[in-house]
Structures are given as structure tokens and as C-alpha cells.
A and B are shown apart, each in its own frame.
Chain A
Amino acid sequence: MTPINQTMVQKKILFISRHAPYGTSLAKDALEAVLAASAYDQNLSLLFMDDGVFQLLSTQDSKDLEQKNFAAMLSALTFYEIKNIFVHLESLLARQITINEIAIDGIQIVDSAAICNLLIQQEQLLSF
């Protein structure tokens, strides 16, 4: 283990979140990893795809699950100044989710071809 060096080199790191908000804790663990990463002055991006797009629904209600509302937790992304947030168009279409239902303002919708470009630009991928 190493002490965290605050002046470490900056890398382009993309977090990919591909699981629904409840049922497993992978979505939550992905979000916590992104928020932790924001403290280290890296060039961060976050992509929601596959069932991960369900995390974005503004109308989700987790009260009966006795879990925190994931859409509310995602609002932390703004406070942590994570600005490069993407959602995969084809994943939205396959699940009949429209942009009006998405809780995050300023999210960028990207199709599969654009995601290829996004991936190529990265120096590191963290998949959840």
C-alpha cells in the first residue's frame, strides 16, 4: 500500500456503470469509487450503459426497499464537480427511457459509435 500522492500524474479515467441501482450494490460501489476519485485531480468521465441507465430514472422510489434513493445519491456528482457524464443511447432506447425521465442535468447522450471514440481516448477504464 502506498500513501496517496496528491500530486500524482493526471490520467484520463472512464468509469463505466452497467448495473441497475438496486438488486446488487455494484451501482452504489461504482458511484462511491467515482466520488473518491474526484479527490485526486484526475480527468474523470462516467458512462451509464446497459441496465446502468435505470440508475438515472428521476421517478425511482426505493422507500419500500429501505434503501437510499439512487437518483438523489447521483446528485452528489454535481457537488464533486464531475462534469463528463455520458449515457448510452441504444441502452436507453432498448429500455424505452426518454431524456425527460433522466435525473441528471447536462448528461451527454452518446451512441455506440461515439462510445468507441470515448473509450479510445481513455488511459484507464474502471468497469462496474
Chain B
Amino acid sequence: MIFSLAIYAAPYSSQASDTAYRFATAVIANRHQLYRVFFYHDGVHNSSALITPPQDEINLTLKWQQLSKDYNVDLVVCVAAALKRGVLSELEAKRYGKPSHNLHQNFEISGLGQLIDAAVVSNKLITFGN
């Protein structure tokens, strides 16, 4: 079965992103396909390369990145939600004249069309954090 996830919650503020990550690993462990993880609303904070949790806490951004590397999972961040929360790719930072950029490797910035595409392509789209 093909799964996609939509995540609306920031990491560390609530359990939702953690739960989504655990669900993602369970999908893969059970030999289903994880087509895309779409980060929307506060979920865009999952993709910040500047996230610096204490050493004895999980680094969710790195976990997502590793999942993407190991299993070729699309990590897509909504552009409108990301820009207004200060998560910018190098390209967006240049475009808006910002002094820095912070989108983590393996995450991509794109539009809501990618969420709709995930809904159409996947058998199940599961939402976390609303």
C-alpha cells in the first residue's frame, strides 16, 4: 500500500511530529511504500537546519533526513507556510534578500499541489497535528 503523511505541528511543542516519524518507520518496516511527507502549517519547523535540541533528546530533522536518504522518501515543505515562519531555502533567501537560509538537506520547498498529488497517488494520507 502507498502511504503519505501530512504534518501540521512543530517538533518539540507537541508529540505529533514524533508520532508521525514513528508511523513513517512502521509503514516502511511493514513493507509499504511511503511516498511523501508533506510539512504544512507549523510542521514546516521540522525542516529547519538550525534546530538544535539538547544532546539527550531526539533530533527529528536528522531523523527525517535519514529516512529520506535510506528509503527515498519525498520530504516536501509548503512554500507559503515555510516563508512566513522563517524557513527558507538558499533560492528563496536570495529571492527575498534575506541574510541567511536554513532549509535542511533532503527537504524540498514546493507548493500545496504536492499535498494534493500525495492524496491522489497514495492509498492512505494520514494527518498529524491538528
Residues of A within 8 A of B (CB): 1-2, 4-5, 8-9, 11, 13, 18-19, 25-26, 29, 32-33, 36-37, 39-40, 42, 124-128
Contact = CB atoms under 8 A, between A and B. Distances in A.
Contacts of B114: 1-2, 4
Interface string B105-130: 00010111111110111100101001
Given A29-B81, A40-B113, A40-B116, 6 more contacts: A18-B130, A33-B115, A36-B115, A126-B115, A126-B127, A128-B130
B104 to A, nearest CB: 15
Interface of B: 6, 8, 36, 40-41, 74, 76, 80-81, 108, 110-117, 119-122, 125, 127, 130
Nearest to A13: B119
B74 A126 contact: no
B130 A19 contact: yes
Given A1-B74, A26-B8, A126-B6, A33 B112 contact: yes
A127 to B, nearest CB: 5
16 contacts: A4-B113, A4-B114, A4-B117, A5-B117, A9-B120, A25-B41, A26-B8, A26-B130, A29-B41, A36-B111, A37-B112, A40-B120, A42-B119, A125-B125, A128-B8, A128-B127
